[in-house]
Structures are given as structure tokens and as C-alpha cells.
Amino acid sequence: MAINTANTSVGLNAQSDAVHGRILVWDIPTRIFHWSLVLCFVIAYLTSESERWQVWHVTAGYTFGMLLLFRLFWGVVGTRYARFSDFVQGPKQTMRYLSSLLTRHPHHYVGHNPAGAWAIIGMIGLGLLAVLTGWASFSDYGDWFGELHEGIVNVLILVIAIHIGGVLVSSVLHRENLVRSMVHGCKQGNLLDAIRYPQWIVGVLLLVGLGLFLWALLSSRLPALLP
Amino acid sequence: MHRTLFFCLLRFSALALLLGNSGFSRAETPQFFLDEYQQAAKSQNPGFKGFSVAAGERFYRNKHGGDWSCASCHTDNPAAIGKHVVTGKLIQPMSPSANPERFSDAAKVNKWFKRNCNDVLKRECTPEEKGNLLTYLITVK
């Protein structure tokens, strides 16, 4: 089923211009999630070495965790290309995709390619582990949680580097600016492949939810997270 | 080829995890750290005469030109329970006499000296400063 989303560039070029154009691929919640996640990671990283910024660090970290939980939810009920079932594939498909990159006709996916999918799974898993161990360390459940937290984040940074590298390589090979797509949500493609709704309401609800979470956290209403 | 690359990355990840987690704790004593700082202080400064309780106490209370001293979080009495000025979290006593867990784990001591010196002095502490401070902390019961 997932194979349907893989259009080789040969196939696309054969289509007439009438069905080819600018299509919406990434819905609003997915894009808000992505860039909020980047922001939280950068804030948490930059504030990690000082006690002065400790509240910023844990706030960014917990928000990072909330965003990941939302992404798990959205990966099940979200729009077509946001769903895990659309992009998570086995090692065989992943290897097939990677080897196609070395040929003159790299396989093209409208949504995430199978290699990128593994980076996404890795970042979600490691991200959740980083938040859990960070929370345990901050709650004084043992020094080794702090060590583990740093170790996990080191691996997470490695996967983020692979993710960014993959995005750049893929952007060049497929001649599409994937970074910009994650901003405006659109790509060039077959009109039939577009998602129908940008899901503005879910996007607004996500922002409201994050706002409520931040308010509760910073007004000491969640003492188990931040006393 | 891709498989080899994958395993290479996997191994690198495991290594990074281990390196980040290399704080295996042997049971060190405050004396172990005093010896270490003394050796380092001597090699940096041939005229080094030994650590001083008074200098350690001055160091503990001094704001070093910034807005925080050690006492800002650890209170005026290092044998008492402290309170983080930003998060309000409680901090167990710093004096090894009041809290035997202090200065018993090199990884932890190194981590927190580096972190807290950067916050208070905006630089790392010298071995002489660390030795003076520890000499003072030991005397506070």
C-alpha cells in the first residue's frame, strides 16, 4: 500500500502538466510540531551548561516531550503523509531506496522517504528517552540519570545530524527544497497526491495546548515536573 | 555497503552512549581530592604553601564580581540544606562532615565544579581555589 506513494521521477515526467503542480503535503500541525521541536531543542541545548538557565532548560525539555507525544498521536490520526503507516517501512524497502540514490533515477516519495522515516523514529524515541532521563535527573532520582541523559542526547544529536544531512542530500537529488516545504507545506507533484485539508483547527489546538502546559508548568501547578 | 555504514553508525552511537556514561563511581574520599588539588597546585605554582581554611571561606562567600556566590544556593552555612536560587530545589549540604556523600565520586565532583565555577566565576576554578574551598568545607560541621 505504501508503495503507492512512491512515484519514480520517470513516472511523474510522463504525466501531463494538467495534473502536475503545487500540492499541499505537510499539514499545519506537523509543521508547527517540527519547528517548535527545533526551537525547544535549541533552547534546551544552549541552556544546558548553566544553573542560571535551569528553568529554561527544563521548560524547553518538557515542551519537547509534549510535542513528541502529540506527534505520536498525530502519527496515528493525522493527515496522509503525517501518518507512520505512510512512511515507516522495513529494512528491505529502506535499502532499496538508499541504493536508488546512487542511480540516475532515485526513487521519489511525496512524503517522507523510508530512510528519513528511520531518522524520525530514532529522534522520537531518543527524544522521549532524553526527556524521561532529564526529568529523573532533575527530580534527584540518581546521578546516573544525568549521565544517561547526556549520553542519550549525544546520540540524538548524531541522528539529528543524519536527518539534516539526509534532507540536504535529498533536496539536491530530487531538486526540491525540503526545508522550505516544511515551512509552507507544499511540494511540486501530482495533484491527486495532495492532502485535502491543512488542519488549521488542530494546529490552533496544539498551540493552545502548549500554551496551557507552559502556563501550568511555570505557575507551579505541575510540581512533579517543576517545583 | 549500506549495511556496513549502518553498523558503523550503530557502534559509534553505542560508544557515544558509553562515553557520556563513563561516570562509574569508585568511592573516593575528600582526602583523595585534597591530594589531587595539592599536586596540581604545586605543579602550577612552585611557591604554593598549602591550602587555607580562611581563603576557602572567603572564596565561598565571594561573589567574584558577579551576582552569585557559592552561598547564594548553598547558604551561608555549608553544613545546612541549601536552596537553588532559580528553581527553589533543595540541595543537600556541601560539607562532607554533614553529608558523607560529598566528595566521594570524582565524576560528580568534576562535573559540578566545572558547572558551578562557570556560573559563579565565569571560568573554571584553579586547583588552589578548589583545595582551599574543600579545606574550608571539611571544617564546617
Which residues in chain B have Cβ-Cβ distances shorter than 8 Å to A153? 20
- Cβ burial of B27 (10 Å; 0-12, 13-18, 19+) is exposed
Is A17 among the domain residues?
no
Is A100 among the domain residues?
yes
- Taking the Cβ of residue B21 and every Cβ of chain A, the question of whether any pair is shorter than 8 Å is answered with yes
Closest residue in A to B109 (Cα) is A143
- Inter-chain touch B20–A148, beta carbons under 8 Å: yes
The residue among A196, A198, A178 whose CA lies nearest residue A188 is: A178
* Lowest mean pLDDT across A7-16, A99-108, B126-135: A7-16
Q: Which residue has the cell 569508585?
A: B26
pLDDT at res. A63: 98
Closest residue in A to B11 (Cα) is A155
The distance of B80 to chain A (nearest Cα, Å) reads: 18
* Lowest mean pLDDT across A149-163, A204-218, B16-30, B32-46: B16-30
The distance of A25 to chain B (nearest Cα, Å) reads: 29
pLDDT at res. B27: 83
- Inter-chain touch B20–A143, beta carbons under 8 Å: no
- Where residue A97 sits, what CATH number does that domain have? 1.20.950
Is A121 among the domain residues?
yes
pLDDT at res. A227: 86
The distance of A45 to chain B (nearest Cα, Å) reads: 15
- Taking the Cβ of residue B27 and every Cβ of chain A, the question of whether any pair is shorter than 8 Å is answered with no
Range of the domain at A123: 30-218
- Inter-chain touch A148–B21, beta carbons under 8 Å: yes
- Taking the Cβ of residue B119 and every Cβ of chain A, the question of whether any pair is shorter than 8 Å is answered with yes
- Inter-chain touch A152–B86, beta carbons under 8 Å: no
Q: Is the pLDDT of residue A41 over 80?
A: yes
What amino acid is encoded at A74 in this protein? W
Q: How confident is the model at residue B75 (pLDDT cuts 50, 70, 90)?
A: very high
Total domains in the fold of chain A: 1
Mean pLDDT of chain B: 87
Is A227 among the domain residues?
no
pTM comes to: 0.85
Measured in whole angstroms, the distance separating CA B2 from the mean position of its chain's CA atoms is: 44
Q: Is the pLDDT of residue B4 over 70?
A: no
Strands (E), chain B: 82-83, 90-91
Q: How confident is the model at residue B110 (pLDDT cuts 50, 70, 90)?
A: very high
pLDDT at res. A187: 97
Q: Is the pLDDT of residue A8 over 60?
A: no
More confident residue, B50 or B1: B50
Q: Which of A48, A50, A51 to mutate to test binding with chain B, by most B CBs within 10 Å of its CB?
A: A51
The residue among B128, B73, B138, B67 whose CA lies nearest residue B102 is: B138
Nearest Cβ partner of A50 from B19, B107, B119? Answer: B119
Which residues in chain A have Cβ-Cβ distances shorter than 8 Å to B25? 143
Distance CA A216, CA A190 (A): 44
- Inter-chain touch A49–B105, beta carbons under 8 Å: no
Q: Is the pLDDT of residue B17 over 80?
A: no
pLDDT at res. A11: 43
Q: Is the pLDDT of residue B99 over 90?
A: yes
Q: Is the pLDDT of residue A3 over 50?
A: no
Mean pLDDT of chain A: 93
Is A196 among the domain residues?
yes
Domain B26-139 is of which CATH architecture?
Orthogonal Bundle (1.10)
More confident residue, A114 or A11: A114
pLDDT at res. A96: 96
- Inter-chain touch A51–B86, beta carbons under 8 Å: yes
* SS percent in chain B: helix, strand, coil, step 5: 55, 5, 45
Q: Is the pLDDT of residue B21 over 90?
A: no
Q: How confident is the model at residue A6 (pLDDT cuts 50, 70, 90)?
A: very low
The distance of B41 to chain A (nearest Cα, Å) reads: 26
Which residues in chain B have Cβ-Cβ distances shorter than 8 Å to A52? 86, 119
DSSP lists the bridge partners of residue A22 as A188
- Taking the Cβ of residue A147 and every Cβ of chain B, the question of whether any pair is shorter than 8 Å is answered with yes
pLDDT tens digits, A77-135:
999 999 999 999 999 999 999 999 999 999 999 999 999 999 999 999 999 999 999 99
Residues 98-117 of B with CB under 8 A from A: 105, 107-108, 111, 115-116
Which ipTM did the prediction report?
0.76
pLDDT at res. B18: 47
Distance CA A36, CA A22 (A): 25
- Inter-chain touch B118–A49, beta carbons under 8 Å: yes
- Inter-chain touch B84–A51, beta carbons under 8 Å: yes
Q: How confident is the model at residue A49 (pLDDT cuts 50, 70, 90)?
A: very high
- Inter-chain touch A50–B23, beta carbons under 8 Å: no
Q: How confident is the model at residue B141 (pLDDT cuts 50, 70, 90)?
A: confident
Is A223 among the domain residues?
no
Distance CA B92, CA A172 (A): 54
pLDDT at res. A23: 97
- Inter-chain touch A95–B17, beta carbons under 8 Å: no
pLDDT tens digits, A148-184:
999 999 999 999 999 999 999 999 999 999 999 999 9
The domain locations on chain B are 26-139
